[in-house]
Structure formats: C-alpha cells, structure tokens
Chain A
Amino acid sequence: MYRLLWFMLFCIPQQLAAQDDQADTSVISKKDSAFIENLKDLTQDRIPVLSLDDGESDDAANQDISSLLTAGRNPFLNAASFNFSVARFKLRGYDGDLSSTYMNGIPMQNLDNGSTPYNLWSGLNDVLRNREMAYGIQYLSFGYGSIGSISNIDTRALKQRVQTSFSYALSNRNYTHRWMLTHSSGMNRKGWAFSFSASRRWANEGYVPGTYYNGWSIYLGIDKKFNSRQILSLVAFYTPVENGRQGAATSEMQMLAGTHYYNPYWGYQNGEKRNASVGKTNMPLFILSDEYKINENTTLTSALSYTFGKRAISGIDWFNAPDPRPDYYKYLPSYQQDSMQSALVAQRFYNDPSLCQINWQRFYDVNRSNFQTVNNIDGIPTNTISGNRSLYILQDRVTQTNKYNFSITLNTRMNNHAFLTSGFHYQWQRNHYYQELIDLLGGDFYIDLNQFAEQDFPNDPNAIQNDLNHPNRVIKVGDQYGYNYAITLKKVSSFIEYLYKTSHIDFFGGAEFSQTSFYRTGYVRNGLFPDHSFGNSTVNLFNNFSIKTGITYKINGRNYFYVNGAYLTRAPYYDNAYISPRSRDFLQDSLRSEIIKTIESGYILNAPSLKIRLGVFYTSIQHGVNVLTFYNDDYSNFVNYAVRDINREMMGIEFGLDAKILRNISLTGAASVGSYYYTSRQNATIILDNSASILANETVYSENYRIAGTPQQAFSAGMSYRSPKYWFLNLTANYFNEMWLDFNPIRRTYNAIEGVDPKSDLWNDILAQQKLSPQYTLDFFGGYSFRLKKFMHQPKPAYIVFLIGISNLLNNTDFQSGGYEQLRFDFASHDVNKFPPKYYYAYGLNYFISLTLRF
C-alpha cells in the first residue's frame, strides 16, 4: 500500500530549467503571449509543459519549448518533456501554435497567436495534475485538438486529490522561494466538492542579474453534484505576477560585460538595481462547466469561460534624446572607426561595469534640466505649458484582453466498438493595445508625439501627431499615449470524430469546420495615416477545415503499429496579416490560409518491464505569412518586412525507451532526429513604417534554410535507482545537435550580395545560416519520503516528501541555447558584423529543492 503511494509520488521524471529569454527592445514583438516563467514553474514540479511562445520575443526567435509528460506511459515524451527543454526543444519543429490545451472542456489557446496562456494558471501546479496528454493525430474525447502536443487538464474540485498539502521550495532560477498550500475536500455526501490552492513565488534576484520575481497565485474550485447524472463546476484562477526580465545580447557585449548572462535591461538607481523591462500580468480566469450524463453511454459537457485583465511590459521611451540602451551599437568599441578610440572604449567598459547597464541617474538629470515651453497644446494656439519636459520616460506597453468562450462537447459510446465525439466552440477575444506612461523620471510632463516622423516630414506638423484629434497632448503618469488600437477576433468551429475498435484494429476519422474573423479598431487618428487609422477596419474572414484519420493495428496486447494522417487549413494570425497595426490598418497582399499536411507512423511496445516507442513523421506547412518589424536608425524609422509564401517541411524519427533492467534499476532513453527546413523561396515587401512607402519587393532565397529555435537532434539516456527504503536517484545525460540560428530574410536577397564576389568569404558570411555548437548536459534528480505515523490526530497517514533536482550538473555556461540574427543589415558595406546576432545562454548549474507535507 505504501509502496503504491510512494511509487505514485515518485514515478515522475526529473525537472529541468527552461530559459527566460526576452528579445531586444530594438525589435518590436509581434506576438503577445505567455512568459516562459510559467513554463519553468511547471517543469519544476514535474508538470507536463507544452510548447509555448515567449512573450515579446522577436518573431525570428520563438522560444518554444515543448515538453510533455504522460505519467510514465510514453517514454519518448517523458524524456522529451524535461530533459530536452533546456535546449528549447520544439516537438517536431512545430511552433507553439500547433499545440492545443483544453481545460474543463474549453479550448484555451489565444485567438491572437494560437499559443496557450500558461500565465493564467502559473504557480498552481497542485491542481493541474489531472491531465491527459497526447501528441500527433489522434481520436480525442475532449476536443478536436491540433497536430502537435495536446493537453486536457481537468481542474475541477472533485477531481483534485483529497488531501491537504503544504510545500516550500528553494531554487536559483527565476524565483528563489515558493510556498504552496492546497486543500481539497473531495465530493461530500451532500454533493459538494471544494478545492483551494494558493502559492507565492518570489526572488529579489533570479539567476540572471537584474531579474526579479514576484508572483501570487490563487485557485478556487467548487462543484455541485445534482444527481447521479449532473455535475456543475466552477473554477477560478488568479495569478498576478510581476517580474524583471532579461534580454539577449551580442557576443561583443557579453564579452565586455564578462558574462554570458549579461542583462541590458537593468541599472542602478540610488544603489538599488532597477529593471526597465518589467512584466506584469493580472488576468483572472473563470470557467463554469457542466457535465451531464444523458445516459450510460453519452455525456454532454458544456462550458463557459471568461478571462479579462491586462498584461504589460515596461520599457524606456524617449524623444529627441540619445538612445538610453547601454548596448546600443553606437556606444560599443566595434562601432568606432578609429582603432585607438575603439580600444579606449573597450577599456572603459572593462573598468566600469556600470557602463554596461542603464544609467538611471542621467535620465533624471536630463529631464530635470530640460525646461521648455510647448505651444499649441491640444491644437489650441494659445494653449501652452511650461515646465520640465521629460525626454526619457518609463512606459508600459499594455495589452488589455477580454475573452469569452462557449463550448459544447458530446461523447457517445454507440456500442462496444464505436465511439463518437462531436462539439461546437464559440470563441471571442478582444485585445486592446496601448502605451501608458508610468514614470516621468524627474520631469513634469511629456508630449504625445511620434518622434520617428519628425525627421521625415519636417514641414508637416500633422505627421508627428499620434492623435490628430488631440494634437500635442500633455501626458502625465497614468495617461494613455502613442498607439491605441484593438483587435477583435472571433472563431466559431464545430467538429466530429469517430472511433471504431475491434480486437485487432482501431480506426478513427474526424473533421472540423471553422470560421475565423478579425478586424482592427483604431482609437486615435494617426498623423501619418489619418484616413486609415481611426475607427473599424474591414473584417477579415477565413473559412477553414481539417480532416484526420488513422488506423492502429494491435498485433497483440503489447505490440501496436499505427499510421495517422491529417490535412487542414489554418487562418493567418492578425499580426502577420496587418503590416503595422499600431499606426494603420494596411494588410499584407494576398492573404490566405495555410495548408498543412501531416502523416505519422510508428511502432509501440508496451510490456511490463520494457516500453519502446519508435515513430516517423512528415509534415508540410505551406503559404505561411509573417511580418517582422525593427528599428533602423539610418531612416530614424521603423521598417516592416511583410513576408509571404513561407513553406516548411518537418520530418523525423522519434524514439523512446524505458527498460527495467534490474529489480530497482531502470534505463530510459529518447531520441528525436529530424530535419526541419524552409522549402520555398519566400517573397518579401520592405515597407517604411512612417509612410507605408514600399522600399523594395524582394525574393528571399530561403530555400533549404533550417528551421531555427530547436535542436533538430536531441538524445538523452538516463538511469534510475529506486530504493525500497523510499528514496530514489536519477541521472540523465543529454546531447543536442543541429541547433540553428534564426536568419534575417532580407539578408538572403539579391540586394544583400550585390557586387560581392561569389567565391569570396564575404559571400558565405552573408548567406550562410549559423549553426550553434552541439552541447551536452547532465541532470540529477533525487528524492526521499517518509511517513509520519501520527500527525495532528489525522486518521490518514501524513507524508513528508523531499525532492532535489539539479540541472546542468557540470555547470556548462557556454550552452548557446538560442538566438537570432538582427533584422538590421548594412547594405552599403555588406558587413555582417555591424549588426551581429544576439544569443541566449542556458543557465549554468541550477537547482530546485522542495519539501512537502501531505496529509
């Protein structure tokens, strides 16, 4: 009995750290989604973690991490989930938008970018333990799913383990301390079930200097069972988090700072570290679900969910002032043409580490000494304001979200062999994007002007207005300014799946139809695009469908062989459709849905002491579109790359092994060997953001470039020892190869190599895609539990569980886990080193130690 309990507690693979990586402030993020911290948090508790997109990361550097846990059933997923996440492994090379997550019957993905909003339930691992995991093409009883990883989490109160648990954990990753308290009552005789969980995670400083973490999480679940047929459930999540973030950096900057974990976002203010890029999330989630057993064979699940709130990331904004970023390329030794001054500059960086960081004092000095009188406030000529006009301010880039979801899912067992699932989803989401001034940094006021337009249109006073309806508006703390628009999205879908089982064959088929629409609403009339910025844009409508089918041949109870396939179309995301939604409603030319075809096949062995999974897959995604934006200070302007005709192919072999070789010792192994390529020549239109004038229409010679952001080869081998005395050890070695850097599409055009000798080194330097060095890591995981015979007069036994996980045991701090080429390229000199790539590094030795009391 105790063994069973103990086994349940420990048969979970070890955890690993994922990276907290945020992109450079010079690159505008097009995706607005969850932070990686949530991901890490889940892995720390050995909770399955799914692919996701990092918020604010450069489009070219999707920090996707795909890790899956199936409670011991799928040895490939077990290893892939935790062991591979340090290298930012993406399952099958898919982006996070090919995963799907369902909670209590509701599909949770954001409509704006398809990613799963992990931040809505971060820090509440105790109540996320009831999950079904799958990946690939399958018959699912809770929804239609997508083709990547699929997760169904049942967070209802009655499904929570009936116990009280309290834990404390110590770590050195994103946060240092964590308390968690959970209590679930189970279903009582009157038909009520309650569950409550709360946690607190914080760090004054995380692994990376200048980062900090401050998170609270609360969960409440209430169920009422009406009769033997119907259960009504309500769950509420609230997980406000504030954290100081980290940015990637060039090799030069990391060398000047003396560490791979250089963080350009912080600086000292009054002796304390102040981070300019602080993320704040405040989004409660409510799900009301009803499970109704129509009869013994049929269940109808309906659910309604609502989430609202804000996510914000702060940053420094400036007007007519020198760039405040410490790693701005013009401040670095590499920019100096004079070698003597270049050496002096480098020397200064080495001698004065504060030069690598933000100089907050200077912002206050500049703002306090800039007394100005500004005329024509609000467009009234005699309206003036005098005072210290801030040239540097701290802003929040806010996304305010409202999201409603309504779903119905019907499960029927038609007879002993046939099963049917069908359903309907209605999803509505509105994201309101705006900037908010949060700190005047010593000044008295700020004026709402577009500094990037001033240089291009010196004679047009309207061009620099962000809001023509209120020109020259005075901005104080708490005021909205700059861009101000909303995207409203709607997706309606219905699906049906059918499964037929015999003793030797399982066959399934399914189809889904959906309609996705979105439009932009501008709340300010932009001076550069007065006729295309204010009010509602036209509605973009896409009709999509998906069909899937598969057959599994059960050779006997232990050996299976399967073939599955799917064909689907997918609507583009709004931020790849609108070229620059911040200022106007212009769309990419010829918008269309992507076409995705995928097929997989494999073999499964499921014996008591040997589990093997061996599979192959092939996926093609065609007609993708993308919009990339970056700041080019030659134009003093943002530049947009609108890219289309993006075709990708991913294929590979997946292998997993779990073998019990001795009574207490087992071996695990996993391998993912794939090749993920871009298979088309893409087409790009380069647009100057300020005027929407087209600078060029170029062919991007992108064929056969590798998909970046994941090791295309990942291997792991591990050994576990489980002692009958209730302790265990696990040691795993991992090896990663074929990690490629995301490439700048505009550097693979005719213009980029014009005039360069094809046989020269420069030609190769410009065109080649950089491959990161292969890496290996060693991870340790161990634990001990003991039972308290008497605990506070409780009838049930109490357990204390001690767990320790150490990742990257060999403290490999040279592990380049990802990065991206800068989107800026100097066409005049063709010098690739002028704007070199930026890199992320995996943490060195990091640990997570927890002590839990359960009773």
Chain B
Amino acid sequence: MKIQKCPTMFYVTILLLGNLWISCNKKFDEPPSFIAPDIISNYTIAELKNLHTNGMVELVNEDKVIRGIVVADDRSGNFYKSIVIEDSTGGISLSLDRYDLYTDYPIGREIFIKIKGLYLGDYNKLIQLGGGIDNTGTAPALAPLAATLFDQYIIRGSYSNEVLPLVVSISDLNDSYQNRLIQIKNCQFATSDTSKTFAIAGQSSPSAVNYTLSTCDGSKIILRNSNYADFASMNLPNGNGDISAIYTVYGTTKQLYIRDTADTPFYGLRCDGTNGNILFSQDFTDAPIGSNINLPGWLNVAETGSVKYTCANYQSNSYAKISAYLSGYDVIKTWMVTPLIDLGNYTQKIFSFTNADGYDNGATLKVYLSTDYKGDGKPWDYTWSLLPATISHGHTSSYGSFISSGDMDISAYSKIYIAFVYEGADGAGIKRTTTFQIDDIKITGN
C-alpha cells in the first residue's frame, strides 16, 4: 500500500494523532471554597428600625452597612420569600423576591447589608426591609427586593455562626424583641390541641393555623404555622418543653414562628404532671390469668418446641410470662408479636417495657422490630431488627424485680410490629430454662 512507501503520510498521521492531547475532555477545577469578606458594619439593626414610622414606606438614605446573622430561613417553608436576621441590638425581616432563599442565606450565615437604596416598611407593625414601594393596594406597601439585585445590597459572610436564643418570659416581650430569636421555657399546647397537626397541608386559605401556647404560670402566646411548611402534617408534641422561635407581632398580637419542629421539643411532663401521648400500651390486665396470651391482634406462637407465653399475676399485677422449664423440648423458640402499631407522625417516638428474670440459666429474651412482617402468623419469614432493650438476667435462684428496658428510640418508623422472642432448651443435654416476665409495654409519641 502506498502509505507504507510514503513518509509524508507518516508525518501527517503523527501530526493528526498529536492533536489528541488537545482533545481530551476538559476537567474543570473545582472553584475555591467561599472566603468570607472582611467587612465592618457601621450601623445597627436597632438604629435602622428607628428610621421607620409604622404605616409608612421609607427609602433608606443612610449610606451605611448593617450586619446580621440569619436566624430564620425558608428551608421548611414556614417562612415565605423572607429571612430574619439579628444582631446584638435587634432583629429585622428581609423581604426578598425569590424561593429557596436558604440556599444562599441559611440559618447561621453572617450577612452584611448596604442599606442605602433599600426601603423600610412594616406588615401590620412588624418592621421589614425590602426593595421598593408597592402602590397597587389601598395603601403603599413594601415591595420585596428583586432577586437579581440581592448581590448588590447583600454581601454574604461566613457560615455556621451560632445565635443563642434570648431566654424571656411572655410578659417581657415588647417591640425591641421584634424578629429576634427567643426562648420561652416550659411551654405546652392545649390538651384539646395535642391530637392536631402543626398546620393543614394543602389548604391555601386561610394559609396558616394559630395555636395557643401556655406556660405553667398561666401566660399564653400564639404560635402561628404556615400550611406550606414541610412539617404541616406532623403531630403537635404533647408534652412540655422550651420553645425557640422568632418573635413577631401582628398589630397588637404577639406571635411566634418556629423554623422547624426541632424548635418545639415538648417531651417533658406537662404542667399537670401527665405524660405525652401514648401511642400503644399493654399491661396484660385484660389477659385471662393462667391461660396462653391470646389478646386481640397479638400472636403467640412457637417456632420450635411448643412453649407459649402465658398470663401470670402476682400481687394484683398481671404480666406475661414464659419459661422452658419442664417442657421437655430440645429447642424452644417462641414469638409473642404485637398487632400492627401505627406510630403516626410524631417527631419523637419512644418504646419501653419492664421485665424480670427468674432462675436464670442461660435462656434468652430478645426484642425485635419489623416493618415488613405481614401479620400472617409466620414472623420468622421476615426481617427483624434487634432493639437495644435492657433485659434482666443473673437471678439464678430466685425471681428478680421488674426493671425498665430503657427508652428505645423508634422515631424513624411509622408502622411496625414488635416481637418478644424467647429461646431456651429443655432436652436431654443442656438446659436453658430461665423464666422471663414482661409488663408495661408502652410507646409514647411527641
């Protein structure tokens, strides 16, 4: 072939191939990490708010820079087209015309604002900073700042700056606390509200729900939640605890807004000493004493060996009991499975029970949880996760007292079965015939 005889072709081919190195995919260098700018503020949020007269919309002429840390963003959807910032003198809400502001201004971010050219207004006495005047309504209102102009006024600073909430009592609250992150101790929802959800998802009008929070000294304040919040369908916590929230006003009404459900950790005992919501409980008082446990919906079945849980009673307390003693089977494995438990939509779900052992010689009691068991009577065909229950043991020649299994956190689950599995042996060889007692099975939700 001519190619072999022609050195020019060879050189040319080399030239062609030599372009290979230009051809490779451009791999882009990752840009550098964000470096916070070096800016000093020369104005405070309190001074800025002083420029405002309620009911008016004013252009800010002061050529100054304020600094604030974001204490509320729109990540959960409870805040809409606004973020709240706070410095040591006060807090203010920024009206910004865009969704998903949390991507640029998440909670904890320090931001600097060049206020000249921005506008101050208020929403029924709640002071806000925005981008213009909206004359389309009956009275001039504050127009939000256009998205394309954010970077012209707002300079982004460092992340993860912590703002500790100011601990106040409801009676302390006044306008100087507007849009600040505050904490009120020992709050709870009204008993009649505890079965409700934070808001009504999908309802557009009215767009939010108000709840009354009370403290143990009787003071009350409103908590307002938007139907567009992603926690709208979550159940309200039923206990008592400290709320962290942004303090706002609507005219003369004091209102709190939370960022998300972590702001309402009401897991303690209520003011009247009662507990949180009990989702599931069983203390075996309804089980016939002396018979195999046969409660409605419960499964009591032996996988191997023919031993079952029975109901026993001591000093007027009924409980479930199982033992391999004198049964005669070589291998004993028995399951006691609860009915399907619907845990609802709570932030925190805790499972606990009490148990005792007697004449312990090595049999085991283990507690499991399953989400795929179908209630068909054959639990061993499905997947079960072992729960970290504290099981009483070591009482080799008598019965121990009931101890708690400890609080087991099952907050991640929504619909479960719980199984108590006993394994023992009473054959010719090794004997493992410990007696176990189970009582006060309880799941609480908050």
Contact A202 B19 (CB under 8 A): yes
Q: List, in ascending order, chain A residues with CB within 8 A of B12's CB.
A: 166, 181
A184 — nearest CB in chain B belongs to which residue?
A: B2
Q: List, in ascending order, chain A residues with CB within 8 A of B13's CB.
A: 181
A196 — nearest CB in chain B belongs to which residue?
A: B3
Contact B103 A370 (CB under 8 A): yes
Taken together as a complex, chains A and B put the C-alpha atoms of A348 and B201 apart, in Å, by 39
Number of interface residues of A (CB under 8 A): 54
Flag whether B34 is at the interface (Cβ < 8 A). Answer: yes
A456 — nearest CB in chain B belongs to which residue?
A: B202
Q: List, in ascending order, chain A residues with CB within 8 A of B40's CB.
A: none
Taken together as a complex, chains A and B put the C-alpha atoms of A164 and B28 apart, in Å, by 39
The smallest beta-carbon distance between A279 and chain B, in angstroms, is 13
Taken together as a complex, chains A and B put the C-alpha atoms of A86 and B319 apart, in Å, by 89
Contact A216 B23 (CB under 8 A): yes
Flag whether A294 is at the interface (Cβ < 8 A). Answer: no
Taken together as a complex, chains A and B put the C-alpha atoms of A320 and B136 apart, in Å, by 30
**CB interface residues, A 692-725, toward B, < 8 Å:** none
Flag whether B274 is at the interface (Cβ < 8 A). Answer: no
Contact A270 B29 (CB under 8 A): yes
Q: List, in ascending order, chain A residues with CB within 8 A of B28's CB.
A: 269-270, 272, 274
Taken together as a complex, chains A and B put the C-alpha atoms of A340 and B132 apart, in Å, by 8
Binding stretch for chain B, among A74-82, A355-363, A569-577, A608-616? A355-363
Q: List, in ascending order, chain B residues with CB within 8 A of A325's CB.
A: none
Q: List, in ascending order, chain B residues with CB within 8 A of A330's CB.
A: 97-98, 147
Flag whether A825 is at the interface (Cβ < 8 A). Answer: no
Contact B148 A349 (CB under 8 A): yes
**CB interface residues, B 89-117, toward A, < 8 Å:** 97-100, 103-104, 106, 109
Flag whether B296 is at the interface (Cβ < 8 A). Answer: no
Q: List, in ascending order, chain B residues with CB within 8 A of A340's CB.
A: 132
Flag whether B9 is at the interface (Cβ < 8 A). Answer: yes
Contact B413 A381 (CB under 8 A): yes
Q: List, in ascending order, chain B residues with CB within 8 A of A362's CB.
A: 104
**CB interface residues, B 345-400, toward A, < 8 Å:** 371, 385
Taken together as a complex, chains A and B put the C-alpha atoms of A331 and B13 apart, in Å, by 51
Taken together as a complex, chains A and B put the C-alpha atoms of A355 and B202 apart, in Å, by 36
Flag whether A792 is at the interface (Cβ < 8 A). Answer: yes
Flag whether B263 is at the interface (Cβ < 8 A). Answer: no
Most buried by A among B2, B13, B146, B159: B146
Contact B30 A364 (CB under 8 A): yes
The smallest beta-carbon distance between A72 and chain B, in angstroms, is 30
Q: List, in ascending order, chain A residues with CB within 8 A of B6's CB.
A: 164, 792
Flag whether A492 is at the interface (Cβ < 8 A). Answer: no
Contact B143 A202 (CB under 8 A): no
B202's partner among A194, A198, A216, A459 (CB-CB below 8 A) is A459
Chief secondary structure at chain A's binding surface: mixed
Flag whether B33 is at the interface (Cβ < 8 A). Answer: yes
Contact A344 B149 (CB under 8 A): yes
Contact B146 A341 (CB under 8 A): yes
B33 — nearest CB in chain A belongs to which residue?
A: A368
Contact B100 A321 (CB under 8 A): yes
A381 — nearest CB in chain B belongs to which residue?
A: B412
Flag whether A65 is at the interface (Cβ < 8 A). Answer: no
Contact A336 B146 (CB under 8 A): yes
Flag whether A322 is at the interface (Cβ < 8 A). Answer: yes
Flag whether A228 is at the interface (Cβ < 8 A). Answer: no
Flag whether A851 is at the interface (Cβ < 8 A). Answer: no
Q: List, in ascending order, chain A residues with CB within 8 A of B428's CB.
A: none
Q: List, in ascending order, chain A residues with CB within 8 A of B98's CB.
A: 322, 330
Flag whether A442 is at the interface (Cβ < 8 A). Answer: yes
Known: A345-B149, A381-B413, A458-B201. A364 touches B31 (CB 8 A): yes
Contact A214 B23 (CB under 8 A): yes
Taken together as a complex, chains A and B put the C-alpha atoms of A342 and B143 apart, in Å, by 12
Contact A185 B34 (CB under 8 A): no
The smallest beta-carbon distance between A214 and chain B, in angstroms, is 5
Known: A272-B28, A322-B99, A368-B33. A792 touches B8 (CB 8 A): yes
Contact with A along B191-227 (1 / 0, CB 8 A): 0000000000110000000000000000000000000
The smallest beta-carbon distance between B30 and chain A, in angstroms, is 6
Q: List, in ascending order, chain A residues with CB within 8 A of B33's CB.
A: 368
Flag whether A382 is at the interface (Cβ < 8 A). Answer: yes
Flag whether B164 is at the interface (Cβ < 8 A). Answer: no
Contact A331 B148 (CB under 8 A): yes
Q: List, in ascending order, chain B residues with CB within 8 A of A376's CB.
A: 412
Chief secondary structure at chain B's binding surface: loop
Flag whether B326 is at the interface (Cβ < 8 A). Answer: no
A204 — nearest CB in chain B belongs to which residue?
A: B22
Taken together as a complex, chains A and B put the C-alpha atoms of A242 and B34 apart, in Å, by 31
B1's partner among A185, A202, A272 (CB-CB below 8 A) is A185
Q: List, in ascending order, chain B residues with CB within 8 A of A242's CB.
A: 25
Flag whether B230 is at the interface (Cβ < 8 A). Answer: yes
Flag whether B404 is at the interface (Cβ < 8 A). Answer: no
Flag whether A131 is at the interface (Cβ < 8 A). Answer: no
Flag whether A200 is at the interface (Cβ < 8 A). Answer: yes
**CB interface residues, A 178-225, toward B, < 8 Å:** 179, 181, 183, 185, 194, 196, 198, 200, 202, 214, 216
Q: List, in ascending order, chain A residues with CB within 8 A of B132's CB.
A: 338, 340-341
Contact with B along A363-401 (1 / 0, CB 8 A): 011101110000110000110100000010000000000
Most buried by A among B8, B31, B133, B413: B31
A179's partner among B19, B32, B106, B149 (CB-CB below 8 A) is B19
Flag whether B285 is at the interface (Cβ < 8 A). Answer: no
**CB interface residues, A 258-280, toward B, < 8 Å:** 269-270, 272, 274
Taken together as a complex, chains A and B put the C-alpha atoms of A391 and B103 apart, in Å, by 8
Contact A200 B31 (CB under 8 A): no
B146's partner among A200, A321, A345, A458 (CB-CB below 8 A) is A345
A348's partner among B1, B109, B134, B152 (CB-CB below 8 A) is B152
**CB interface residues, A 322-343, toward B, < 8 Å:** 322, 330-332, 336-338, 340-342
The smallest beta-carbon distance between A370 and chain B, in angstroms, is 7
B147's partner among A331, A337, A442 (CB-CB below 8 A) is A331
Q: List, in ascending order, chain B residues with CB within 8 A of A270's CB.
A: 28-29, 31-32
The smallest beta-carbon distance between A210 and chain B, in angstroms, is 13
A351 — nearest CB in chain B belongs to which residue?
A: B152
Taken together as a complex, chains A and B put the C-alpha atoms of A179 and B106 apart, in Å, by 52
Known: A179-B15, A365-B34. A320 touches B2 (CB 8 A): no
Contact B100 A322 (CB under 8 A): yes
The smallest beta-carbon distance between A459 and chain B, in angstroms, is 6
B412's partner among A179, A198, A382 (CB-CB below 8 A) is A382
Contact A337 B31 (CB under 8 A): no
Known: A202-B19, A375-B412. A348 touches B148 (CB 8 A): yes
Flag whether B233 is at the interface (Cβ < 8 A). Answer: yes
Flag whether B139 is at the interface (Cβ < 8 A). Answer: no
Q: List, in ascending order, chain B residues with CB within 8 A of A198's CB.
A: 16
Contact A355 B148 (CB under 8 A): yes
The smallest beta-carbon distance between B77 and chain A, in angstroms, is 9
Known: A336-B146, A344-B149. A369 touches B133 (CB 8 A): no
The smallest beta-carbon distance between A801 and chain B, in angstroms, is 16
Known: A166-B12, A321-B100. A337 touches B136 (CB 8 A): yes
Taken together as a complex, chains A and B put the C-alpha atoms of A384 and B413 apart, in Å, by 13
B19's partner among A200, A365, A369 (CB-CB below 8 A) is A200
Known: A183-B3, A458-B202. 7 other contacts (CB 8 A): A242-B25, A322-B100, A331-B148, A337-B136, A344-B152, A370-B106, A458-B232
**A-B residue pairs in contact (CB < 8 Å), sample of 25:** A179-B15, A179-B19, A181-B16, A183-B9, A185-B2, A198-B16, A270-B28, A270-B32, A274-B28, A321-B100, A321-B103, A330-B147, A331-B148, A337-B143, A338-B146, A341-B145, A342-B146, A345-B149, A349-B148, A368-B33, A391-B103, A458-B201, A458-B232, A458-B233, A792-B8
**B interface with A by C-beta (< 8 Å):** 1-3, 6, 8-9, 12-13, 15-16, 19, 22-23, 25-26, 28-34, 97-100, 103-104, 106, 109, 131-134, 136, 143, 145-149, 152, 159, 201-202, 230, 232-233, 371, 385, 412-414
Q: Which 4 A-B pairs have the closest CB atoms?
A: A381-B412, A338-B132, A366-B103, A458-B201
